[in-house]
A and B are shown apart, each in its own frame.
Chain A
Amino acid sequence: MLRYFFQRLMWVFIVLVAVLTTTYVLYKIQPSSPPTRPAEKATWLKSQVGLGFMEEEILTRGEIYEGKFFKNDENIFGQKITREMQEAIYANYKYYKIDYTIWSDYDSPSVTNMNRRLLIYREIPIMVQYGKWVKNVVTKFDWGPSTNISINEKATTVLNRSFPYTIGVNLITTLIEIPLGLFFGILCAIKKDSIFDNIINVVFMVFISLPGFVVIMLLMKWFGSDHLFGLSHPLLPYQWQSSDAPTKQKILAYFIPVISLSLGGIAGLTRSVRAELSEGLTQDYVLLARTKGLSKQQAINRHALRIALTPLLPGLIFSFAALLGGAGITEQVYGIPGAGRVFLQAIQGSQPDYNVLMYDTALFSFLGLFLGILMDMSYSIIDPRIRMGAKNE
C-alpha cells in the first residue's frame, strides 16, 4: 500500500517536472516582459543577476574614457553618461550581434557625476538559465520576482497572499455542500419517486445546468444591488470587502460567492448519493438485515448507507480540486483577491507576469496530481475490498 503510494508519488514528480519544463520553454519563447519604469527595471535587472539569469558588466566612466568603446571620444571626462552615449555603446555591442540590455544609473539622483557607471546586462543561454532556475527553485524555493502584479516582489509572496481567500471560500463551500448534499440525497433515495423526489430532481437539474458566473451575476443584482423587501439598503455587499471593512460586512461578503459555487456541488452530490443509495437499498444484504430483525432505519444506517457513501470521499476530493481550479471566474466577477484572480491578472495584465504564472502552474498541477493520488488511495482506505497496486492473480 505504502509502496504503491510512493510509486504514484514518484510518477507525480516526473509528470510535474515534465509539465513545468514544457511550460518554462513555452513561456521563454514569448517576448520577455521586464518592468517598464526605470527604477523598477533597475531593481529587476539586479535581481536577474542575483538569480543567475543574466550577466552584469560594469563600466566605470574611466573605462569608457579610455576608449574601450569609443574610437574617438574627446570630451566625455567629467560628463554624465548621456542617452546618446548609451546609444553609441549599444550600437557598438550590436555590431557583434549579441543582444544586451544597457542600463546606466543616469536617472539615479543619489549617484554623483564622477561615480556614474554604465551597467551592461546580457542574458545567458536559455538552457543554462533553466538549470539556474531549477537550482533556485529546489534549493531556495525562489521562483523569481513578479514583473507586473506587484513589481519586484517575490512571485511566491504575491500568490501565497491570495490563498487564504481562495481556500476560505472553497472550504466553506465544501462544508456547506456535504451536509446539504447528503441530506437531500438520502431523503430522495428513501422517498424515491415521491413528489418530493421529483421536485428535488427538477430543481437540481436546473442547478447543475446553471453556469456559475450567471448565478453570481444574478445574486449580485438581487441581493447586492436591489433593495429587496423594501429595505433601505441591499442585503449583501455588492463586492468583496477589503480587510479594513467592518467584520459584519466581511462575513456577509462570503454569502454570494459561496452560494454561487455550492449550488452545482449540492446538486451533484445529491444525485450521486441518491443513485448509490437507491441501488444499495434493493440489495440482498439489506433484505437479509431486515429479515434478521433490524428496523428499516437500522438497516439503512448500518448497511446500505455505508456502502453507498464509499464513492463519496473520492468524489469530494475531486470536487475540491475542481473548485480550487475553477473558482477563478467567481473571484474575478466578485473581486475576491484569490489565486484564480491573481492567475488571470498575471495573464491579462498590461504585460504577462511569467514568474507568477510558473509558480501558479506548479502549484495547481501539483495539487491536481496529488489530489488524484489521494482520491485513488481513499477508495482502498474506506473500502477494504479494493486493494490498490495488487497484482491480478
Chain B
Amino acid sequence: MNNEIKQYSDELFQRVQINEKIFDQKFEGKPRSFLADAMLRFVKNKINIVATSIVFVMVVLSFLVPLLTTRDFTSANNAKLQYMPPRVPILENFGILDGKVKVNDFPTDSNKPELDKEGNPTGRYYPLFENINKYSSEYIVPGSLENSESIGGVKRPEYVGGTNYIRLLANTDAHSILSPETRLVFLQRVEIVVDSMDPDSTLTLLFKPKNIDYHGLDAKDPASFQYYRSEFKLRENGEESEDYINTITSPGTYLFRYSFVKEAGDETDYNDGQLCLNFESPIDKARIDITSVNIMSSDTTVVTGFSGYELSQWSGQSIDGYGGDFLRANAIFTSCSFTYDKYAAIFAPVPNQNLAESKYLEILSKNPDMEEAIVYNDPDDHSKGWVFEGEWPIIEITGISPGAVGPDGVYHFSYKATLRGTYVLGFDIMPYFLFGTDSAGRDLFAQVWLSLRTSLLLGVIVSVINIIIGVIWGSISGYYGGAVDFSMERFCEYLGSFPGLTVLSILYLKWGAGLLLMLVYLTYSGWIGVAGITRIQFYRYRGREYVLASRTLGAKDSRLIFKHILPNGIGIIITRTILSIPGMILTEASLSYLNFGFGHGTMLDFGLFKLPGLSLGVILFEGQQVITKPGVFYLVMIPAVVIIILMISFNLFGNALRDAMNPSLRGQE
C-alpha cells in the first residue's frame, strides 16, 4: 500500500475573489412586516374602508357626544318638549327633517271651518283639539289640510248624522229604547222622523216619568208599560186628532202633542223623565230607521233634539221577552290629514305672563341693546305697554299689574308680558333636535350615542374578560392534553349546556336587571369559543420541532406556552373576538328591550368610576309603545337604522380584518 500523501504546492491553486468582499445579497423587493402586509390586503377593498370609517365615526361620536352634551338632554326634565320630530339644519330647507309632522286620518271639528284669505269657508275643517293630541289650527302648514269622508256606524261624536235603527232579535217581537233623562212639559210636542220601517210593525211613543209608580209590578214586566204616559195627540197639517194616538206604522214625519190628564189628587210630576220608543213587529229581525226625535215647544222651536250621535246614546230597556239592537248607520266621519309645524307650536309665544320687575330688569341688563328696541304703543302713556322690535326674550309688555310694598319697604310690581317660547323653555334660539325627542322630552341624539357608548364599552370589557379566561383555559387544556384536557372540555360542555334563558333567570332573580347581570350573562359561556380556538392552536403547534428544540434546551412550560405557541394564535383570537362584538351589542339591546338591561337613569358602577348608561333596546321598546301614533315613527326608525348600520359595518369590518390577518391569502385577489 502506498500510504504516501500526495503533496500539492500552493502555487497550483489560484485564489478567486480574493479582492472581493462577500455580502448577503439584498432582496429586490422591500421586506414587508406582517402588519404592513395585512394592512395592504385590508385597504385593497374599498367597501372595507367605508365600513371601517363608519365604525370609527360611530365610536368617536359615542364617546364625544355624551361628553360634549353640556345641557342634560338625557334626563326627563323637559316634558314640554315631548315628541319633537327630527330637525336638521340645511336639510330642513329641502323639506326633509324639517320638524314638521304629517298627520293622517285625524278626526275633524265641524265647528272649525278653514277660511281662505277673504274669510270665506273653503269647505274643509280643522282637526279636533284634544287633550292628548293638541293640534292647534294656527300651526297647520297652510295648504296642507285635506279632508276625506268615510261612512260608518260608530257611536262616537266624530261621526255626524246618519240614522239609528232598532233591529229585533230573531226570536223576539219587540224592543224598547229609552232617551237620557229629559224634560217634556205639558203641551210640548215630540217630532219623530222615521226614515224607513218594515211593514206590519208599529212604533209606540211613551213617556216614562222619573218617579214612576208600577203599583207593585216588576219593571221588567211588559205590563209595566201601562204606567208610562201614553197620552199623545197626533198633529197633521195643523189639525190635531181627537183621540190619543201614539203609534206610527209607516215612515214619515210625525208630530205629537203631549197632553195627559192628571187625575184629581195626583201630585206626581209627569214632566221629568225619559222618552220611550217601543218597536213591535211580528217579522223576524224587523228593522226601523229613525232619523231624529225632537222635543219642541208649542211654536215648534226645538227644545231638545236627538239625532245622529245623540240619538245613538239612547239605551235599550231590558223587558222580559223583549230584545233587539240599537245601532247606527250611514253616519259620516270626516277625517283630515295635514302637516303640523311642531316646532312653531311648541315654541309659540307665551302670552299673559307675570314678569316681576326685578326679572324684567335682569333680562334687560343681560341684553344691552334691548332697551333701544322698545316701541311704545302710546308714547305718552307708558302704562299701555310696549313692544320690543327684533328677537328678544320678551316680545311685548301688555300692561302693568298693581303691586305692593314688600317687607323690604320697596314697591314691587310685575309686568304683564308676552314671552318668547324659546326663552320660556330655556333656549336662546330655536333648538335643532337632530334625532327628535322622546315621550319625556329627552333628546334622542344624545341618548343614541350614550347607548352606543354603553354597548361598545360593554362589548370591549366582555371581550377582554373572555380573552383572558379563554386563553388561559385553552392554553392549559391544549398544552397538557390527556385527562386534564378531557375534564376541562367536559366542563365547558356542561357550562355551555345551560339554556340562555335559564342563566338569565338565575342572574335576574339574584341581582335584578343591570350591569352585573349583563356582564355575567355575556361572559359565563362567551369565553368557551376563545378557549376552543386556543386549544386547537396548541394541539397544532405543541408537537412541532421548534417547540421540541426549545424544550430540549430547557425551556419551561410557561416559556413554551407564551413565547412559542400562543403567538401563533393571537391573530385569529383577536379577529374572532372583534367579530363577536356585534353579536354582543345585539344581545345587550335585545335583553334591554326585554327589560333585563339598562333603563333610563342607570349608572354603570365600575367600582372606580361611575358612568351613565342606556341601551338602544330600551329606546326601541319605548318607541314601539307609541309606534301607531302619528308622527313619532322616528323614535323607532332612528335607533333601528343606527343599530343596523352599526351591525353591517361592524360585520364588514370584522370580515375584512379576518381576511387581512390571514397570511395564506397573500397575493390573492
Contact = CB atoms under 8 A, between A and B. Distances in A.
B509 A352 contact: yes
A365 interface: yes
Interface residues of B, number: 36
Interface string B597-608: 000000000000
Contact of B497 (A208, A344, A369): A369
B427 interface: no
Those 7 A-B pairs whose CB atoms lie nearest each other, nearest first: A209-B647, A364-B499, A361-B502, A209-B648, A347-B505, A214-B640, A225-B628
Interface string B572-591: 00000000001000100110
Given A211-B590, A361-B499, 8 more contacts: A19-B497, A23-B506, A209-B648, A211-B586, A325-B501, A344-B594, A348-B594, A365-B502
A205 B499 CA distance: 28
A364 B502 contact: yes
Contact of A19 (B498, B505, B643, B648): B498
Contact of B647 (A211, A217, A328, A357): A211
A369 B624 CA distance: 36
Contacts of B504: 347
Interface in B508-531: 508-510
A329 interface: yes
Contacts of A332: 594
B640 A218 contact: yes
A170 B493 CA distance: 26
Interface string B634-668: 00100010011001100110000000000000000
A231 B499 CA distance: 44
A251 interface: no
Contact of A217 (B493, B582, B627): B627
B593 interface: yes
B664 to A, nearest CB: 15
B268 interface: no
Nearest to A352: B509
Interface in B521-572: none
B500 interface: yes
Given A19-B497, A348-B595, A368-B497, A210 B628 contact: no
A360 interface: yes
A18 B636 contact: no
10 contacts: A211-B586, A212-B590, A214-B644, A217-B627, A217-B640, A218-B636, A221-B627, A344-B594, A361-B498, A361-B499
A360 B505 CA distance: 11
Nearest to B640: A214
Contact of B651 (A19, A205, A360): A205
B497 A365 contact: yes
Contacts of B648: 205-206, 209
Given A205-B648, A206-B644, A329 B499 contact: no
Contacts of B206: none
A123 B98 CA distance: 66
A263 B647 CA distance: 15
Interface in B483-507: 493-494, 497-502, 504-506
Nearest to B587: A211
Given A30-B510, A205-B651, A352-B509, A360 B640 contact: no
A325 B644 contact: no
B501 A344 contact: yes
B106 interface: no
B262 to A, nearest CB: 53
Contacts of B647: 209-211
A225 B651 contact: no
A343 interface: yes
A365 B651 contact: no
B633 interface: yes
B498 to A, nearest CB: 6
A15 B497 contact: yes
Q: Which of A15, A218, A340, A347 is the most central at the interface, judged by chain B CB atoms within 10 Å of its CB?
A: A347
Given A205-B651, A221-B636, A214 B498 contact: no
A245 to B, nearest CB: 20
Contacts of B624: 217, 333
B620 A217 contact: yes
Interface in B600-636: 620, 623-624, 627-628, 633, 636
A347 B493 CA distance: 25
Given A209-B648, A225-B628, A352-B509, A18 B494 contact: yes
A343 B503 CA distance: 12
A130 interface: no
Interface in A295-348: 325, 328-329, 332-333, 340, 343-344, 346-348
Given A210-B644, A213-B590, A221 B497 contact: no
A321 to B, nearest CB: 11
Given A217-B624, A332-B594, A333-B624, A352 B505 contact: yes
A40 to B, nearest CB: 21
Interface of A: 15-16, 18-19, 22-23, 26-27, 30, 205-206, 208-214, 217-218, 220-221, 225, 227, 238, 325, 328-329, 332-333, 340, 343-344, 346-348, 352, 357, 360-361, 364-365, 368-369
A26 B105 CA distance: 54
Contacts of A30: 509-510
Nearest to A353: B505
A152 to B, nearest CB: 21
A364 B589 contact: no
Contacts of B499: 325, 360-361, 364-365, 368
A328 to B, nearest CB: 7
Given A209-B644, A347-B501, A19 B509 contact: no
Contacts of B586: 211
B627 A26 contact: no
Given A214-B643, A369-B497, A329 B594 contact: yes
A365 B628 CA distance: 38
A336 to B, nearest CB: 15
Given A209-B644, A221-B627, A365 B594 contact: no
Contacts of A27: 506, 509
Nearest to A343: B501
A217 B624 CA distance: 7
A333 B494 CA distance: 31
Contacts of B590: 211-213, 329
Contacts of A213: 590, 593, 620
Given A329-B593, A344-B594, A360 B497 contact: no
Contacts of B633: 221
Contacts of A218: 636, 640
A218 B508 CA distance: 29
A197 to B, nearest CB: 15
A325 B510 CA distance: 22
A361 to B, nearest CB: 4
A346 B589 contact: no
Q: Which of A209, A340, A365 is the most central at the interface, judged by chain B CB atoms within 10 Å of its CB?
A: A209
A26 B506 contact: yes
A325 B500 contact: yes
A234 to B, nearest CB: 10
B589 to A, nearest CB: 7
A210 B589 CA distance: 12
Contacts of B593: 213, 329
Interface in B123-163: none
A19 to B, nearest CB: 5
A352 B510 CA distance: 11
Contacts of B589: 211
Interface in B453-504: 493-494, 497-502, 504
B636 A211 contact: no
Contacts of A208: 651
A209 B508 CA distance: 28
B548 to A, nearest CB: 21
B508 A348 contact: yes
A369 B490 CA distance: 13
Contacts of A227: 105
Contacts of A214: 620, 640, 643-644
